[in-house]
């Protein structure tokens, strides 16, 4: 049997395979493309394609696919075999450089948000040589970007790569000013922690809500939830451990740096975190991870739920996007340095993030907005909808001192001047256990915690990269023309702190008082739901930001807004229809049956013993009957609500999504309330599907 280091990355055409199989010149040319974004020559591509094909065939591959990330939120692939007819009726295996670099694809069935006119349905996929090709099953998967023929982005990778270029360009300008002449590239890095639930497949199959929507639409609270905190970091059950072991193995073969695993807060909830890597690779790897989590679960008789709030009343699942930026010389720019000059540089990059998060709170909130996440944010271990930043007391005190020109350390009684004093050492990783903060500094990186577990991490990193690029661009503009660099730098940092400190909050984000202070005193946004948030996507400042850094054209921003809101409406529509079906075909018949059985029992009792007390049955039948009436009425109301939000009545997508929220989501909540009460008084054997207690404690 192979050991882990032996099989790690064996299904990836990575650096080792390339070095081994490519002529030195080709390898160097490809490396240059990967490291510095130089464009790739077709002759180089031909050689790479040949080597890649031979390697893949040796590993048992018969097909190749351009693997891409359309706006559906999942990945897409269309397989082509390597075969090509030979003269003697046989086949040879072929794969050319042009097939590697570009593929054509019918884009008409992927969401484009109105970008793609129907007469131009073609789209194309373009190889992203900075993310390694890998083998899945019998297919060589080539990570690609997906665009229309007009060049508009139809996917999540294209703008992500554009945003990485933007931040690279601006960060290099700033680094030059600090004399870092040997730095030639800056890349952002991400380590996404991924939460998920596991439940037994037989239970899953009995619930239409899980099958159609990924979450439970009905379900009363079980006698035991997560009150005892006995699941978090608890011993991992054998069945789950076996699942994790196989998942890790599959991930390692694909070069994913799966590192940490543990039980999470809610029963049946777990987490997996990889070691961080370059953002676009981390994004590809996270998609692969989510896909494998689900596939491997099936082999173990389990289902992996990636929905952000599969169960009301217990923790939802999030995804923490740990983000930083580092140079090709290996320096993490968010690591407080050891020398005064490095500290000034660190503070400037810190300011860039503070300003970015403050100026583009709305965009960050939008990237995590979805029907599912609306149920999660603001409760049970998830941050509120107000975006704020946690810096910790120490760093906040330093920023205060700079702002006020006062002494940071009372004992020193000296003014804190940049470039003169060394910052105190920050105890890494102990800076933050404040789980209520949406955006926390954790020693040498920022952790954005608003993402739902099924979210692609591309969205928030596009915004983060671009918004920070904009801060850095403004700083470079100022500092490049400064006469006295040090004093200009000092003034700049002080001004940024003054202007943007409102976004910094180290307290409890769950506190109602904070929400009041944030909105009323600090003027921060509280975008509670997806329609509230996404409407702001197209604000002029946002369109300008994306346009300036060449991430999205105005048309692309509008298309993204439309896709997000249409997804929102569609998800709710499916949920509402599922509820109606479950209510009419399963819940009401079950309640009716139990009611009848109870009434029959009372009659039987009376027959047996004249005048016997049947008040229990009477009370129960009465309550069941009332609830049946209520459920029926709420179901009708929900059906009416659905009819009332038709596209023909609300042609504007922003208004339509608002109507879905106000009418349909409200009607769903009312129906659920009545049905959940019925569940809690209906005999277990009559209830048509597994309840929360079964689902959450089903794995033994």
Chain contacts with Mg ion (rule: CB under 5 A): 193, 320
Cβ neighbour number for residue 539 with a 10 Å cutoff:
13
Binding mask 274-303 for ligand ADP (x = CB under 6 A): xxx---------------------------
Footprint of ligand ADP on residues 415-454 (CB under 6 A)? Answer: 444-445, 447
Residue 434 Cβ vs ligand ADP, minimum distance, rounded to whole Å? 11
From candidates 12, 142, 160, 190, binder to ligand ADP by CB under 6 A: 190
Residue 191 interaction partner, one of Mg ion, ligand ADP, none, beta carbon < 5-8 Å per kind: ligand ADP
Nearer to ligand ADP, 62 or 434 (CB): 434
Burial of residue 483 (CB within 10 Å: 0-12, 13-18, 19+) is: exposed
From candidates 191, 214, 255, 531, binder to ligand ADP by CB under 6 A: 191
Q: 122: Cβ–Cβ under 8 A, 6 or more apart, which residues?
A: 104, 105, 106, 107, 148, 149
Taking the CA atoms of residue 579, residue 580, residue 582 and residue 588 in that order, the dihedral angle to the nearest 10 degrees is 120
Residue 9 Cβ vs ligand ADP, minimum distance, rounded to whole Å? 17
From candidates 44, 145, 273, 296, binder to ligand ADP by CB under 6 A: 273
Cβ contact 122:149 at 8 Å:
yes
Give one DSSP letter per residue of 414-482, joined into a string. -B--TTTSPPPPP-TT-S---TT-SEEE-SSSEEEEEEETTS-THHHHHHHHHHHHHHHHHHHHHHHT-
- The gap from C-alpha 604 to its chain's centroid, in whole angstroms, comes to 58
Q: Which residue is nearest to ligand ADP (CB)?
A: 191
Of the ranges 57-65, 141-149, 187-195, 614-622, which one interacts with ligand ADP (CB under 6 A)?
Answer: 187-195
Q: 327: Cβ–Cβ under 8 A, 6 or more apart, which residues?
A: 175, 180, 183, 185, 186, 333
Q: Which residues pair with 544 in a beta bridge?
A: none
Nearer to Mg ion, 257 or 654 (CB): 257
Nearer to ligand ADP, 418 or 463 (CB): 463
Nearer to ligand ADP, 188 or 471 (CB): 188
Nearer to Mg ion, 434 or 538 (CB): 434
Taking the CA atoms of residue 554, residue 149, residue 534 and residue 171 in that order, the dihedral angle to the nearest 10 degrees is -70
Binding mask 316-345 for ligand ADP (x = CB under 6 A): ----x-xxx-------x-------------
Q: How far apart are CA 517 and CA 73, in angstroms?
A: 35
* b/e burial code for range 71-89 (CB count within 10 A of at least 16 → b): bebebbbeeeebeeeeeee
Largest CA distance in the chain: 104
Q: 399: Cβ–Cβ under 8 A, 6 or more apart, which residues?
A: 391, 497, 501, 504
Residue 188 Cβ vs ligand ADP, minimum distance, rounded to whole Å? 8
Give me the count of residues in the chain.
700
Residue 324 interaction partner, one of ligand ADP, Mg ion, none, beta carbon < 5-8 Å per kind: ligand ADP
Q: For 541, list phi and psi in degrees, rounded to 5.
A: -65, -35
Residue 432 Cβ vs Mg ion, minimum distance, rounded to whole Å? 9
Residue 444 interaction partner, one of Mg ion, ligand ADP, none, beta carbon < 5-8 Å per kind: ligand ADP
Q: Which residue is nearest to Mg ion (CB)?
A: 320
Q: How far apart are CA 579 and CA 588, in angstroms?
A: 12
Residue 131 Cβ vs ligand ADP, minimum distance, rounded to whole Å? 17
Residue 309 interaction partner, one of Mg ion, ligand ADP, none, beta carbon < 5-8 Å per kind: none
Residue 245 Cβ vs ligand ADP, minimum distance, rounded to whole Å? 19
Number of residues that bind ligand ADP (CB under 6 A): 17
Residue 190 interaction partner, one of Mg ion, ligand ADP, none, beta carbon < 5-8 Å per kind: ligand ADP
Nearer to ligand ADP, 156 or 187 (CB): 187
**Of 408, 418, 421, which is closest to residue 490 (Cα–Cα)?**
418
Residues binding ligand ADP (CB under 6 A): 189-191, 193, 260, 273-276, 320, 322-324, 332, 444-445, 447
């Amino acid at each position: 049997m192979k050991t882990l280091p032996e099989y790690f990355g064996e299904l990836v055409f990575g650096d080792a395979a390339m070095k081994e199989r490519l002529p030195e010149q080709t390898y160097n040319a490809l490396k240059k493309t990967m490291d510095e974004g130089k464009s790739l020559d077709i002759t180089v591509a031909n050689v790479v394609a040949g080597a890649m094909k031979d390697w893949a065939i040796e590993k048992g591959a018969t097909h190749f696919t351009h693997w891409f990330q359309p706006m559906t939120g999942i990945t897409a692939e269309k397989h082509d075999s390597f075969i090509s007819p030979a003269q003697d009726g046989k086949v040879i295996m072929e794969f050319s450089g042009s097939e590697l670099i570009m593929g054509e694809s019918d884009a008409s069935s992927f969401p484009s948000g109105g970008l793609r006119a129907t007469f131009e349905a073609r789209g194309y996929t373009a190889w992203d040589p900075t993310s390694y090709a890998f083998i899945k099953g019998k297919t060589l998967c080539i990570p690609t970007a997906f665009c229309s023929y007009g060049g508009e982005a139809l996917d999540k990778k294209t703008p992500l790569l554009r945003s990485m270029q933007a931040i690279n360009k601006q960060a290099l300008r700033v680094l030059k000013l600090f004399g870092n002449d040997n730095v030639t590239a800056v890349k952002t890095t991400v380590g996404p922690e991924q939460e998920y639930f596991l439940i037994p497949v037989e239970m899953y199959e009995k619930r239409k809500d899980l099958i159609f929507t990924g979450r439970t639409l009905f379900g009363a609270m079980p006698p035991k939830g997560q009150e005892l905190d006995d699941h978090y970091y608890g011993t991992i059950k054998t069945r789950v451990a076996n699942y994790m072991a196989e998942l890790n193995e599959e991930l390692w073969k694909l070069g994913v740096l799966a590192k940490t695993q543990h039980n999470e807060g809610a029963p049946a909830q777990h987490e997996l975190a990889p070691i961080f890597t370059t953002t676009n690779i981390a994004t590809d790897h996270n998609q692969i991870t989510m896909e494998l989590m689900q596939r491997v679960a099936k082999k173990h008789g389990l289902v992996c739920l990636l929905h952000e709030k599969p169960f009301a009343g217990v923790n939802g699942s999030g995804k923490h996007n740990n983000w930083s930026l580092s140079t090709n010389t290996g320096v993490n720019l968010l690591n407080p340095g050891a020398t005064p000059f490095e500290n000034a540089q660190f503070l400037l990059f810190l300011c860039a993030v503070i300003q970015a998060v403050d100026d583009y709170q709305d965009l960050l909130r939008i990237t995590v907005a979805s029907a599912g996440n609306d149920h999660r944010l603001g409760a049970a271990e998830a941050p509120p909808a107000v975006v704020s930043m946690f810096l910790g007391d120490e760093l906040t005190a330093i920023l205060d001192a700079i702002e006020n020109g006062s002494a940071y350390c009372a004992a020193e009684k000296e003014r804190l001047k940049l470039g003169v004093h060394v910052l105190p050492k920050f105890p890494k990783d102990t800076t933050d256990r404040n789980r209520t903060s949406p955006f926390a500094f954790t020693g040498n990186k920022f952790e954005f915690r608003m993402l739902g577990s099924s979210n692609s991490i591309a969205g928030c990193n596009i915004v983060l990269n671009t918004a920070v690029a904009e801060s850095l661009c403004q700083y470079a503009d100022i500092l490049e023309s400064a006469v006295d660099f040090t004093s200009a730098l000092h003034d700049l940092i002080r001004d940024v702190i003054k202007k943007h400190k409102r976004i910094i909050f180290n307290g409890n984000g769950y506190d109602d008082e904070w929400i009041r202070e944030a909105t009323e005193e600090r003027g921060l946004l509280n975008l509670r739901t997806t329609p509230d948030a996404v409407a702001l996507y197209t604000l002029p400042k946002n369109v300008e930001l994306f346009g300036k850094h060449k991430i999205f054209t105005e048309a692309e921003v509008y298309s993204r807004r439309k896709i997000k809101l249409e997804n929102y409406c569609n998800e709710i529509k499916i949920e509402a229809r599922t509820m109606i079906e479950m209510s009419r075909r399963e819940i009401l018949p079950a309640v009716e049956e139990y009611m009848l059985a109870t009434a029959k029992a009372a009659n039987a009792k009376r027959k047996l013993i004249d005048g016997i007390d049947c008040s229990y049955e009477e009370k129960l039948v009465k309550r069941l009957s009332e609830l049946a009436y209520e459920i029926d009425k709420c179901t009708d109301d929900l059906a009416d609500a659905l009819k009332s939000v038709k596209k023909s009545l609300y042609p504007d997508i922003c208004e339509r999504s608002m109507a879905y929220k106000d009418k349909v989501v409200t009607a769903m909540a009312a129906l659920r309330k009545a049905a959940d009460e019925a569940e809690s008084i209906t005999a277990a054997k009559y209830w048509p599907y597994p309840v929360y207690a079964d689902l959450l404690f089903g794995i033994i």
